[in-house]
Amino acid sequence: MKVNKSCDQCRLRKVRCIGLLPEASSVIPSTLMCIPAVSRTATRNATSASSGAGLEYTCPPLFLHSIRLAPTPFMPVPPATYTSTGSCGAAHKKSSTVTTSPSSRCVLTRFPLPSSSVSFFSNDRVTSLAARLGTEALRELVDGLDDLFKKRLCRRESSPWEGINFQKSLAAERVEPWKARAFFDAFFEHVHPVYPFLDREDFEARALGPYLDEALSFDPAFSALYHGVLALGSQFVDGGSFVPGLGRAWSLFRVSLGSLSDVLAPPVSLALTAMSIFAMNACCLQLDQTLLSEAARMAQTLRYHKSSNSDAMHLKTFWTVYFLEKTASFSECTSSLLADEDIGCAVPLAPESVFGEYNWLLSAIRLGRISSLAYSSLFSVSASMQPCELALVAITRVRRLLEDWRRSVPAAFRPGEGKQPQPGACPSAKMVMLQTRYSYYNVVIAVDRLALYLGQGTADGRERTKHNLMLTARSIAELTKVIDVEPYVPVFILGIMPLSAIFILFDFVIHNPEHPGTAENLALLEVVAGHFCSIDSASKGALPGSIISDFAGIARRYVTRVAEGDSQAGTINPGHDGADLDGVIEGSGGRCRLNIAAHNKGWKRSGRDTDSTGSSTNMTSETPSTLDHLSYPTLGSTQDSGQARMGELKTLFGWVFPDWGSEAEQAA
């Protein structure tokens, strides 16, 4: 096999290959070495010569693998050896290679599971739960939520929500210099450490300079960036809004949004990044995917992902968009727009995103890469066609990657440590902690749901997965106590993850009313219900907090009826996972270790959580038989055919489409 003397990057740049990317040397010097490319002609000849012999050749890992596997001061991670399965992007570890026959194809080919980060009830499942509960309260609750989300996300004449348009503002939004300074300070204190895409010195030199009016008049791209940063910062000074059209922050963002048509062409990317961050809030729910996908497209168009000589600001912009887009794609059950195998730029130093020993930007990039691997190997259409054995191998691999990543995070931010931020802690540090843990839980819970659906492995292993899922929901509920109920908090943290926890806990309570852990599950259901009531109060009824909190009341009334021996409660044997448990809640939302007292009978908490992914359980059992059996429904044949439901917020309880009016209205 012939090996080229230069790597692909150096050959494209037509420079001498020195074996090391300069920008990466100060970040991860021991792993980002140039890897000589294999000659295509030689590879083809070698492949044909070895065909029939069953041999595999070793190919180099992706550039991003070296970032993910880079040693850190906290825990060195050894590099992995990959074997080719057709392309480097589809590589698997040698030890994980499995050969299966066509007869071992699993049922995923018929019912692919989504990588959703929220949960929902199918129509069949609502009927099943209503029969179990002996009341129509759940159906009425789900129907009410369905109507509310449709009103919020669809433009209807009867809707109280203001529509979002992209028209340019007729009047300039004037901001006094001292006020602008306060907004900028708030932005760089609270937002920029979490999303480090700007150079503060260069931006403020222009934004606070004597030629600001000329820049705003003749440079639409800078005007969009300027007003986007003002909108983000003003949420922390003047307050924001949970609904569109209200507040100073929205007025500023509307000016930025009006320049969207001017910033969709190169060389603009900073303004789109700022707008994408603002659109993660509740008031811009309709725009989050659009703006973020445009930011990702723009970064690729400008070739930020391939240039090894880009300046730090361009690299910060690309990598910020990278981890935002990867996280959003996984949650929305779609493949990423950014192909990992086509990325070859280094991760720059971002001191503003370093919290003590924690390099948040680099850690977020690593987790984004792992989530992309998880989606492509487990939740994509191609993955749903693979044999069950290969799916289980992929699950094991993803769990191992997640655990390696978790161990690389310092204890103060590490998922599963149970540490809460101290009073008076830096707001940006608290937001980074929530982003770190919830993003991690989001991926792991989806993987665990898939493992339960496959139903492979030992009975004890499945029971441990169910118990860990219950502990996951409990820990998500615990974290709601430290969430600031403010408009600037992303919907993913404010609503999606707590909503997932309340659905999972609700499911465990209804199907295990007499389990020793049910009392604690009910208590934490009340905690999450209180969180949503706070959202309802803070948003003045704009967000459905009080409605969602009704799940806790339904669950508590059901458990009370079971305890009183009410035959209408429809209880079943807690030790039986019958067919009526199939097709229940498609849920995901988080995964972590319990950070409250665990006192369930039959198991005890270990002194230290060794794993959160299921490969090593986060609880210690005396013997496998001492685990209390938990009933937890899995996705089954009761799902409505043809409904490839996405578990995102916009399709929470059913399909939601924009209301374009009747055919007569369109014809007119």
> Residue 513 pLDDT more than 80?
yes
Same domain, 282 and 209: yes
Secondary structure of the chain: what % helix, strand, coil (to 5)? 55, 5, 45
Residue 590, pLDDT score? 34
Same domain, 262 and 140: no
Residue 169 lies in a domain: no
> Residue 285 pLDDT more than 80?
no
> Residue 624 pLDDT more than 80?
no
Same domain, 241 and 133: no
**Three-state DSSP state, 58:** strand
CB–CB of 82/91 below 8 Å? yes
Instruction: Please choose, from the candidates 500, 522, 409, 502, the residue with its C-alpha nearest in 3D space to the C-alpha of residue 448.
Output: 500
- 342-388, pLDDT tens digit by residue? 888 888 889 999 998 999 999 999 999 999 999 999 988 888 888 88
Residue 46, pLDDT score? 42
Q: What tokens were used for 33?
A: 């070495």
Residue 416, pLDDT score? 81
Instruction: Please choose, from the candidates 347, 351, 322, 342, the residue with its C-alpha nearest in 3D space to the C-alpha of residue 31.
Output: 347
What's the pTM value of the predicted model, to 2 decimals?
A: 0.71
* C-alpha triplet 485, 491, 497: angle, nearest 5°: 90
Residue 625 lies in a domain: yes
Alpha-carbon span 49 to 155, nearest angstrom: 62
**Three-state DSSP state, 219:** coil
Question: pLDDT-derived band of residue 405, with 50, 70 and 90 as boundaries?
Answer: very high
Same domain, 480 and 629: yes
Pairing of strands 120-121, 585-586: antiparallel
Final residue of a structural domain among 306, 336, 352: 352
> Residue 666 pLDDT more than 50?
no
Residue 574 lies in a domain: yes
Lowest-pLDDT choice from 273-277, 439-443, 602-606: 602-606
Alpha-carbon span 659 to 665, nearest angstrom: 11
Final residue of a structural domain among 326, 352, 378: 352
Residue 184, pLDDT score? 94
> Residue 444 pLDDT more than 60?
yes
- Give the pLDDT mean for 87-106: 39
Same domain, 140 and 245: no
Lowest-pLDDT choice from 38-52, 282-296, 307-321, 463-477: 38-52
Residue 226 lies in a domain: yes
What mean pLDDT value characterizes the chain? 70
> Residue 340 pLDDT more than 50?
yes
CB–CB of 298/268 below 8 Å? yes
Final residue of a structural domain among 325, 352, 379: 352
> Residue 440 pLDDT more than 60?
yes
Buried/exposed code over 538-563 (b: 16+ C-beta within 10 A; e: otherwise):
bbeebbbbeebbbbbebbbebbebbe
Residue 67, pLDDT score? 53
Same domain, 555 and 593: yes
First-to-last C-alpha distance (Å) of the chain: 68
Lowest-pLDDT choice from 384-388, 551-555, 658-662: 658-662
- Selected residue with higher pLDDT from 30 and 249: 249
> Residue 481 pLDDT more than 70?
yes
Alpha-carbon span 486 to 494, nearest angstrom: 8
- 41-80, pLDDT tens digit by residue? 444 444 444 433 333 333 345 555 555 444 433 333 333 3
Residue 186 lies in a domain: yes
> Residue 18 pLDDT more than 60?
no
DSSP designation for 423:
T
Residue 347 lies in a domain: yes
- Selected residue with higher pLDDT from 68 and 149: 149
Residue 250, pLDDT score? 86
**Three-state DSSP state, 92:** strand
Question: pLDDT-derived band of residue 530, with 50, 70 and 90 as boundaries?
Answer: very high
Residue 265, pLDDT score? 65
- 555-573, pLDDT tens digit by residue? 898 888 888 875 444 444 4
* C-alpha triplet 153, 159, 160: angle, nearest 5°: 105
Same domain, 128 and 182: no
Residue labelled with tokens 């008049």 = 217
Same domain, 139 and 249: no
- Give the pLDDT mean for 151-159: 55
- 169-192, pLDDT tens digit by residue? 655 678 888 999 999 999 999 999
| Helix (H) or strand (E) segment spanning residue 437 | helix 427-454
Same domain, 557 and 634: yes
DSSP designation for 108:
G
Question: pLDDT-derived band of residue 331, with 50, 70 and 90 as boundaries?
Answer: confident
Lowest-pLDDT choice from 166-175, 262-271, 487-496, 590-599: 590-599
Q: How many domains does the chain have?
A: 2
Ramachandran area for residue 333 (φ above 0: left; ψ -120 to 50: alpha; else beta): left
Contacts of 573 (CB under 8 A, 6+ apart): none
Parent domain of 627: 120-161+467-651
Same domain, 476 and 512: yes
Same domain, 282 and 144: no
- Selected residue with higher pLDDT from 577 and 152: 152
Same domain, 348 and 223: yes
Cis geometry, peptide bond prior to residue 487 (ω within 30 degrees of 0) = no
Rounded to the nearest 5°, which phi and psi values hold at 154? -115, 145
Residue 605 lies in a domain: yes
Contacts of 270 (CB under 8 A, 6+ apart): 197, 198, 221, 225, 313, 317
Residue labelled with tokens 């074997």 = 83
> Residue 480 pLDDT more than 80?
yes
Residue 364, pLDDT score? 94
Residue 301 lies in a domain: yes
Share of the chain above pLDDT 70, in %: 61
